[in-house]
Structures are given as structure tokens and as C-alpha cells.
């Protein structure tokens, strides 16, 4: 019973991170029907930037609660702005010239961008900063300073373990997801995004600047990746140039699971994936984790080809 | 259609390649060849790239062994050549270069001993070539068990490396499987009662973890479970939470820093697991401490390492370290003494064989029995493995590895 509870906490926390990354895939897919394979690696780059900023400004020792909170706030702002800006730049330089090309062209370009990002990550890891262990081993995983305490909020003797890390990851992710929902559902920009997603041509005819809306979508997706990177680094405490690959793959799976192009679907997909992952590790065995997750994906797609919340129609975003 | 490349150009390229290939190193071989009193020893080690510090110290050890005997064994003059099996292109050992080295050695009748390789992967390439040539090969550094031990590697190992059926490959370092055994015995000696075994599903990690688990059961250390984890996973909290319920004294992870050992260390602390962590020598590097953060390793991590560190060698070994320091002005790296011992074993074998004949020296080398060498008393078993099983145990204290003591595989 305790185990179920504990795995539930782990699954939900991981699921939130997957959901944040999945949203980046889903938003862009919803508008352009492009699977932005570089998204996972953008997430990785943002984590490197956060660590570099933290190291360069000397914030490696967590201070009191307030100091740590200020650091985390700063990192979230830096990483989100970085993620958003880079994502917009990539769209402008790589995807936009290919807007009218066959669908495969931007897809392959996205894979290319993903490799470029990985190499930039490797380069950053080799910078002679203390937080990168002096840059002696660019490819080695880097420790992210433990800004959040690992003490059990329920007391060290309690069978359950809820630490400030769990609480911060869960609460801040939830807040961001709610904000995003409000943005997409109840603002002019959100309305324009939905319009472009439904019918780009008609949206243009109605006077919507589709390119600006697309740029805004890329910014929001990238900023979410930046936010997720900081949250992830605070929770897992590791930054590694390869972390974009697997997190990206799982998040993409979560997006498909929930119904790609659907905001609620990405969140549901992320949480389901996090929970299944935890349950599989606990009751089936860690070596079966990828098999269980992708097996579940196949099963769901066989019975619901458009994903858990997908409607199969044009209603996206 | 694109015009084909002019055929004259192709011819030119082929001619150039042939010329270069034919003369790449053959001149020197032929110059010395044919003198019945000259015996050659070559080493094939990665001299270009990141392994250079270790291989330089091994080559120094080899040179010391030969110089100490005045480069003479009986009537034979011993000539040593230091070959590189790495390429600048790869910055690491290169399969093509290793294969070329082995071919070149096999064809030169003056060469009676091939010291190498550093990387187990490289040995897989040169072993069958040298085996067909009946040339004795001795490695100061290969630790992959499958090279010599049936049942510990792939099903076709080690037979695939011995096409002639004879054992021509020997190693003076203990193989990885010994580490699993030594680790289990060490855990029991420290008073631990139970363990949970994880591995990275790789050749190295799983091999060691399997031996750890088997040995642990044998000596009465309870193994709660053994499973492989994804070495690229982002974190391991779910599986470690499951382990926490079983409350073992130790978690053994068969893996390396590159296969996420540091993340396991971090997540053990994060889920509040009280067990200690034991790791094999693939984690015995500063990068582990940097990746995990010292606070997650201090006083709760144990790392085994094949062989004893130079400063802990005794008797002849300590004398070797002393002489090495005098000659080269630096502390030898861990593998130096193995280079020294490998070369010394070759010279002894030549002395006992007493003739310049590959088969005779191979047999003499196989019969090596040291009673008081730089590594103590040992001999080669039927597989060509050293009977040495001394390892060192290390722990992490104040963010640094600290030597705890010498370990053996027996209780």
C-alpha cells in the first residue's frame, strides 16, 4: 500500500515534467503538423544554460529558502526566455523557408537541428566552468546543485516521502499548465492559435497574421521546454548532453498517447506515462520499462488511433 | 548523368595507395630480419589519444624489464618496438590499425612476443590473427572475461579467438569477473547481510553483476533481486523505491560512470534508501564524484579496482616503484607494473625455451610460474589467465577516493 502511494508520487512528478515537454511537441504539431524532433534537445540546451548561469553567478550553494527561491525564479526566467528565443530563431531560419515544401523536408531538418543542438550541448559541457567540472570531460553527466532540500516533509520516519522537490515540481508545473490553458482558451492569441490550427488559409483571410501566430507558438513551446529543463534539473539533479533524447522520446510518446495537437491530451498523456513507468519499474521490472511503455502506446493507438483525448477532427491545439 | 571519374585518376590513386601500403613500416622490419640471434618483442597499445598517460607508463615498465637484463637473454639480443594501435582520426584505438599491427607481427619471424592490447575490443581483433600465426600474445590491461573464460562472454567465446585450438593469449591482470567475486566477499566481510543487484545490461556491467550475485548466494549474502536497468534512463527512483521496501544493506551496480552510476547514487539518496552502494572499476574515476556530487557518495560508496595501486605494492613490487620513480621521475600509473611484469614474463619464457621458436616460447610462457615477482606469486591457468586475484577496495571520503585495503576473492 505504501509502495503504491510512493510510486504514485514519483509517477505524477515525472509525469508533470513529461507533460511540460510534450506540450512543446503538441503545440507545434497542432499548428504546423510538424513533429519538431529538435524539441527534446532544446530542453537539454536550456538545462545547460541554466546550469552555466547558476555556475557563472556563483549560486552553487543553496542558501536559505528565500535565496533558493530567488535563484530558481531567475533560472526559470533565463531558461524560458532562452528556450523560447532559440525555438523562434530555429523556426525562422529552418522551418519557415520550408513551409511550402513537402512535409518530409521540415521533418528531416528538425532531426538535423536536433543533432546540432546535441553538439552544442557537448561543447557547453566542455567549457572550463566549475559547474562543468572544469570542462575536463565534456560528455560526462554534470551534477546540478541541489537547490531544493531532500528532507521528508512528513518526517524522516514516515513511510511516504514527499520532499520540497516533489512539491515544487508538482505545484509549479500545475500552475504553468493552468496558465497555458487560460492562454489558449481565453485570450486573443489563443483564439488566433486555434484558428490557424483549424484552417491556416481561412485564418489568414480573416486577417490573422499566421506567421506571427506560428512564431508565438514556437516561443511558448520553447519557453515551456526551458521551464521544464529547470524543473527537471531541480528534481533529477543531473544535466547531460544526452538527456534530450530520452526525455524527448518519452514526451513525444506522451503527446501521441494523449492525442497529439491537443493541450489537455499532452498533459493526460504525460501523467499516464509517468504513472505507467513507475508501476512498470515496481511490479514488472526495470528492464521492461521501454517495452511496457511502447507496448501501451501501440495498444492505445490500435483502439483509439487519435490518442486518449484526440478527437480525430481538425480541432487541434 | 554525372560523368564517371577519369580512369587515369583511379589508377593513380590505386598506385599511390599500393606504394604507401607496401612500404608503411616494412623497411625497418626487413633491415633487422634474419639475424638468428635477434629476438623482437613488440607492444601494440593506444599511444595516441586519451589513454596515452596509461600506455606511456606501461611502455616505461616494459622498457625497464628489458633494460634490467641488458637487453640480452642467453645468446639472444632482445629488441623492443613500441607500436601504436590508435589513429589520430579516432583519437582512440582503431580496429584497422590493430589488425594491421597483428598482421605485420605475424609475418615477421623475428617477433616472438606481442604485448597488448590495452582495450579488450582491440584484443578481439588481433587474437585470432596472432593465434593462427602461433605467436604468443600477453596483455597487461585487458579485463573482459570473455577473451579467455568459457561461459562468461558470448556463446562462441573464447573459442572464436583460438582458431588453432591452442592458447596463445595470456594476461597478467585479473579479469573483470574476479571483481564481482571480490566485491561480494568484501561486502560480507564488512558485515552486510543482504544486497540488491542492478546492472546496465552491457557486456562489462552485467558480467560483473552476474558473478557478484552468484558469489553472494554462495557465501551467504542474501540477494533480494537482480535486474537490468536502462543505462540511459533519466532517473531510477521507481526501481530504487521498490528496493527500499526490501531494505537491503547494499546495492551493487554493475556499470560505469558512462552508464549512469552517478544517477543511481543520487537517486538512492533522493528516495531515502539507507543501503550502501558498491561499484566496479568502471566507476573508479573522478568523473563519478563530479557527476554524483560528493554529498551523495561520501562514506556510503565502495569501489573495487583490479590490482593494487602502485603505492601499496610490497616486496619486489615496491622496489619496482622505487626504481621507476628514480628513472622516470614520476609515480607510475596503476598499469605500469603490469607492463613490467608482462615483459619480464616474456624474457623468462625465452630464457627457459632457449631457442628462437614461436611454439617453444609459447609453451614456456604458458608454464610461467612466478614465486616472488613484482606482483607476488602467480601463474597462468589453462585459459591463459593469471591466478592473481588481488584487488583494491576504495571508498569515497570528503569528495575523494580513499584506499581501504587489499581484497581477495576468498573469505
At A89-131, the pLDDT tens digits run 999 999 999 988 998 999 999 999 999 999 999 899 888 888 8
Substitution target from B234, B245, B289 for chain A, most A beta carbons within 10 A: B234
Chain A within 8 Å of B246 (Cβ-Cβ)? no
Provide the β-strand partners of residue B346.
none
Residues B147, B280: one domain? no
B390: contact with A, CB 8 A cutoff: no
Phi/psi at B134 (nearest 5 deg)?
A: 65, 25
> pLDDT tens across B251-278, in order?
999 988 888 899 999 999 999 899 999 9
Helix (H, G, I), strand (E, B) or coil at B136: strand
Contacts of range A111-116, beta carbons closer than 8 Å, 24 or more positions apart: A111/A37, A111/A38, A113/A37, A113/A38, A113/A41, A114/A37, A114/A38, A114/A40, A114/A41, A114/A244, A114/A248, A116/A38
Instruction: Give the Cα separation of A16 and A274 in Å (integer).
Output: 8
C-beta of residue B43 within 8 angstroms of C-beta of residue B59: yes
**Best interface-test mutation with A: which of B269, B288, B290 has the largest number of A CBs within 10 A?**
B290
Q: Report CA A46 to chain centroid distance, whole Å.
A: 10
Q: Which of A152, A282, A285 sits opposite B241 (nearest CB)?
A: A282
- Asked, for residue B187, whether it belongs to a domain, the answer is yes
Closest residue in chain B to residue A234, using alpha carbons only: B270
A146 vs B contacts (CB less than 8 Å): 293, 295
The CA angle B385-B389-B394, to the nearest 5 degrees, is 135
**Could you tell me if residue B348 is inside a domain?**
yes
Residue B195 lies in a domain: yes
In chain A, what percentage of residues exceed pLDDT 90?
A: 59
Best CA proximity match to B338, nearest among B370, B363, B362: B370
User: Would an 8 Å CB–CB cutoff place B2 in contact with chain A?
Assistant: no
Q: Per the domain annotation, does B2 fall within a domain?
A: no
Number of Cβ pairs < 8 A linking chain A and chain B: 101
Report if residue B275 sits inside a domain.
Answer: yes
Cell numbers placing B378: 602467480
pLDDT value for B139: 95
Residue of A nearest to B237 (CA): A10
Q: Tell me the pLDDT band of B233, cut-offs 50, 70 and 90.
A: confident
A285 chain-B contacts, CB cut-off 8 A: 227
Sheet (strand B222-228) strand order: B222-228, B194-199, B250-254, B276-279, B301-306, B391-397, B400-407
Angle A193-A226-A41 (CA atoms, 0-180°, nearest 5)? Answer: 95
A11 vs B233, more confident: A11
Q: Distance (Å) from the C-alpha of residue A109 to the closest C-alpha of chain B? A: 25
Cell of A121: 550541448
Mean pLDDT for the stretch of residues A217-239: 95
Residue B77 sits in the same domain as residue B154: yes
Residue B1 pLDDT > 80: no
Nearest residue in A to B228, CA atom: A287
State the average pLDDT over residues B371-383.
89
Counting the structural domains of chain B, the total is 2
Q: What percent of chain B has pLDDT over 70?
A: 91
Residue B362 inside a domain? The answer is yes
Domain that holds residue B26: 7-174+317-379
pLDDT of residue A263: 86
| CA pseudo-torsion sign A60, A65, A70, A76 | positive
Mutate to test the interface with B, among A237, A240, A288 (most CBs of B within 10 A): A237
**Hey, what's the cell of A255?**
503527446
Contact list, B235 vs chain A (CB under 8 Å): 14, 235-236, 238
Which residue, among A19, A4, A1, has the nearest Cα to A169 in the 3D structure? A19
**In a shared domain, residues B27 and B134:** yes
DSSP string over A261-280: T-HHHHHHHHHHHHHHHHHI
B106 shares a domain with B12: yes
CA B3/CA A306 separation, integer angstroms? 50
B368 touches A: beta carbon within 8 Å: no
Contact of A7 with chain B, judged by CB distance below 8 Å, is answered with yes
Please report, for the domain that includes residue B207, its CATH number: 3.40.50.2300
Number of C-beta neighbours around residue A175 at 10 A: 10
Residues B302 and B326 in one domain: no
B92 touches chain A (CB under 8 A): no
Q: In what order do the strands lie in the sheet with B38-45?
A: B72-73, B76-84, B38-45, B111-115, B136-139, B169-171
Residue B384 domain-assigned?
A: no
Cell of A119: 553538439
Nearest to A10 among B233, B237, B295 (CB): B237
**CB-CB neighbors (< 8 A) of B241 in chain A:** 3, 6-7, 10, 282
Interface list for A 129-148 with B (CB within 8 A): 133, 136-137, 139-143, 145-146
| Cα–Cα dist B234/B260, whole Å | 9
Closest CA to B126 of A219, A228, B135: B135
One-letter-per-residue 3-state SS of B219-271:
HCCEEEEEEECCCCCCCCHHHHHHHHHHCCCEEEEECCHHHCHHHHHHHHHHC
Determine the pLDDT at residue B27: 42
Please list, in sequence order, all residues whose beta carbon lies within 8 angstroms of the beta carbon of residue A210, skipping any fewer than 6 positions away. A196, A200, A203, A204
Shared domain for B68 and B106, answered yes or no, is yes
pLDDT tens for A45-75 read: 999 999 999 988 876 666 667 888 888 999 9
DSSP B307: B
**B16 and B102 part of one domain:** yes
Residue A82 CB partners (closer than 8 Å, separation 6+):
A45, A46, A49, A226
Q: Which residues pair with B396 in a beta bridge?
A: B401
Query: Looking at the predicted structure, is the pLDDT value of residue A141 above 70?
Result: yes
Residues of A in contact with B286 (CB under 8 A): 133
Same domain? B279 vs B196: yes
What is the residue-averaged pLDDT of chain B?
87
In a domain, B311, yes or no: no
CA-derived radius of gyration, chain A: 19
- What is the structure's pLDDT at A61? 65
State the Cα–Cα distance between residues B144 and A83, nearest whole angstrom. Answer: 43
pLDDT tens, position by position, A240-260: 888 999 899 999 999 999 988
Whether residue B227 and residue A232 make contact (CB cut-off 8 A), yes or no, is: no
Provide the pLDDT for residue B9: 45
**Nearest chain A alpha carbon to B294:** A143
Give the separation between CA A244 and CA A237, rounded to whole angstroms: 15
Q: Do B198 and A286 touch (CB under 8 A)?
A: yes
pLDDT tens per residue across span B18-77: 444 444 444 444 444 678 889 999 999 999 876 787 889 899 999 999 999 999 998 899
B296 and B153 share one domain: no
Q: How far is A151 from chain B (nearest CA, A)?
A: 9
What is the mean predicted confidence (pLDDT) over B179-206? 91
Q: Are residues B186 and B170 in the same domain?
A: no
B163/B197 same-domain check: no
What's the predicted TM-score (pTM) here?
0.78
Three-state DSSP class for A142? strand
Same domain for B347 and B396: no
Amino acid at each position: 500500500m505504501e509502495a503504491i502511494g510512493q510510486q504514485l508520487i514519483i509517477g505524477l512528478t515525472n509525469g508533470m515534467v513529461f507533460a511540460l515537454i510534450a506540450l512543446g511537441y503538441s503545440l507545434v504539431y497542432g499548428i504546423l503538423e510538424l513533429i519538431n524532433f529538435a524539441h527534446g534537445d532544446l530542453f537539454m540546451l536550456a538545462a545547460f544554460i541554466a546550469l552555466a548561469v547558476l555556475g557563472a553567478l556563483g549560486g552553487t550553494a543553496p542558501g536559505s529558502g528565500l535565496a533558493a527561491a530567488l535563484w530558481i525564479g531567475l533560472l526559470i526566467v533565463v531558461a524560458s526566455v532562452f528556450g523560447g528565443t532559440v525555438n523562434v530563431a530555429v523556426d525562422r531560419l529552418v522551418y519557415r523557408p520550408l513551409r511550402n515544401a513537402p512535409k518530409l523536408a521540415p521533418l528531416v531538418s528538425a532531426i538535423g537541428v536536433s543533432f546540432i543542438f546535441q553538439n552544442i550541448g557537448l561543447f557547453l559541457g566542455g567549457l572550463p566552468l566549475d559547474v562543468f567540472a572544469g570542462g575536463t570531460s565534456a560528455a560526462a553527466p554534470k551534477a546540478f546543485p541541489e537547490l531544493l532540500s531532500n528532507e521528508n516533509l512528513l518526517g524522516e520516519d514516515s513511510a511516504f516521502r514527499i520532499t520540497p522537490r516533489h512539491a515544487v515540481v508538482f505545484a509549479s508545473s500545475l500552475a504553468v499548465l493552468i496558465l497555458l490553458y487560460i492562454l489558449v482558451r481565453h485570450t486573443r492569441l489563443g483564439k488566433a492559435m486555434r484558428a490557424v490550427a483549424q484552417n491556416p488559409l481561412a485564418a489568414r483571410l480573416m486577417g490573422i497574421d499566421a506567421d506571427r501566430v506560428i512564431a508565438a507558438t514556437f516561443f511558448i513551446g520553447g519557453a515551456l521546454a526551458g521551464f521544464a529543463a529547470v524543473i527537471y534539473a531541480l528534481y533529477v539533479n543531473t544535466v547531460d548532453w544526452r538527456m534530450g533524447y530520452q526525455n524527448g522520446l518519452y514526451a513525444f510518446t506522451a503527446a501521441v498517447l494523449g492525442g497529439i495537437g491537443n493541450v489537455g491530451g499532452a498533459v493526460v498523456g504525460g501523467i499516464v506515462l509517468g504513472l505507467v513507468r513507475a508501476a512498470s519499474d515496481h511490479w514488472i521490472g526495470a528492464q521492461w520499462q521501454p517495452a511496457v511503455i511502447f507496448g501501451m502506446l501501440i495498444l492505445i493507438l490500435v483502439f483509439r488511433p487519435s490518442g486518449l483525448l484526440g478527437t480525430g477532427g481538425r480541432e487541434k491545439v | 548523368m554525372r560523368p564517371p571519374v577519369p580512369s587515369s585518376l583511379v589508377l593513380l590513386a590505386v598506385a599511390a595507395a599500393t606504394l604507401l601500403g607496401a612500404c608503411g613500416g616494412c623497411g625497418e622490419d626487413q633491415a633487422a630480419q634474419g639475424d638468428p640471434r635477434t629476438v623482437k618483442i613488440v607492444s601494440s597499445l593506444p599511444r595516441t589519444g586519451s589513454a596515452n598517460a596509461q600506455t606511456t607508463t606501461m611502455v616505461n615498465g616494459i622498457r625497464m624489464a628489458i633494460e634490467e637484463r641488458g637487453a640480452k637473454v642467453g645468446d639472444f639480443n632482445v629488441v623492443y618496438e613500441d607500436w601504436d594501435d590508435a589513429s589520430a582520426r579516432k583519437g582512440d584505438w582503431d580496429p584497422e590499425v590493430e589488425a594491421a599491427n597483428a598482421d605485420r607481427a605475424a609475418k615477421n619471424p623475428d617477433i616472438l612476443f606481442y604485448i597488448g592490447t590495452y582495450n579488450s575490443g582491440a584484443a578481439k581483433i588481433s587474437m585470432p590473427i596472432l593465434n593462427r600465426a602461433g605467436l604468443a600474445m600477453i596483455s597487461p590491461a585487458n579485463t573482459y572475461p570473455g577473451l579467455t573464460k568459457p561461459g562468461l562472454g558470448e556463446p562462441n567465446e573464447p573459442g572464436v579467438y583460438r582458431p588453432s585450438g591452442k592458447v596463445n593469449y595470456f594476461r597478467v591482470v585479473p579479469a573483470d569477473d574476479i571483481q564481482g567475486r571480490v566485491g561480494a566477499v568484501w561486502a560480507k566481510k564488512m558485515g552486510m547481510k543482504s544486497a540488491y543487484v542492478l546492472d546496465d545490461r552491457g557486456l562489462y556491467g552485467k558480467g560483473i553483476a552476474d558473478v557478484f550475485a552468484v558469489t553472494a548466494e554462495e557465501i551467504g549474502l542474501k540477494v533480494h533481486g537482480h535486474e537490468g536497468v536502462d543505462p540511459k534512463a533519466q532517473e531510477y527512483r521507481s526501481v530504487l523505491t521498490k528496493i527500499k521496501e526490501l531494505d537491503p544493506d547494499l546495492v551493487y551496480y554493475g556499470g560505469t560512470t558512462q552508464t549512469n552510476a552517478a544517477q543511481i547514487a543520487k537517486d538512492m539518496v533522493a528516495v531515502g534508501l539507507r543501503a550502501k552502494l558498491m561499484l566496479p572499476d568502471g566507476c573508479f574515476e573522478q568523473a563519478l564524484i563530479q557527476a554524483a556530487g560528493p554529498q551523495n557518495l561520501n562514506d556510503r560508496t565502495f569501489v573495487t579496482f583490479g590490482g593494487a595501486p602502485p603505492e601499496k605494492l610490497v616486496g619486489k613490487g615496491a622496489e619496482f616503484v622505487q626504481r621507476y620513480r628514480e628513472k622516470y621521475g614520476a609515480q607510475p600509473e596503476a598499469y605500469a607494473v603490469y607492463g613490467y611484469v608482462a615483459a619480464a614474463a616474456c624474457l623468462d619464457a625465452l630464457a627457459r625455451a632457449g631457442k628462437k621458436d614461436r611454439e617453444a616460447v609459447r609453451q614456456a610462457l604458458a608454464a610461467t610460474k612466478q614465486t616472488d615477482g613484482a606482483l607476488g606469486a602467480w601463474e597462468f591457468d589453462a585459459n591463459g589467465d593469471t591466478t592473481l586475484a588481488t584487488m583494491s577496495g576504495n571508498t569515497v571520503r570528503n569528495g575523494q577516493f580513499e584506499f581501504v585495503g587489499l581484497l581477495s576473492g576468498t573469505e
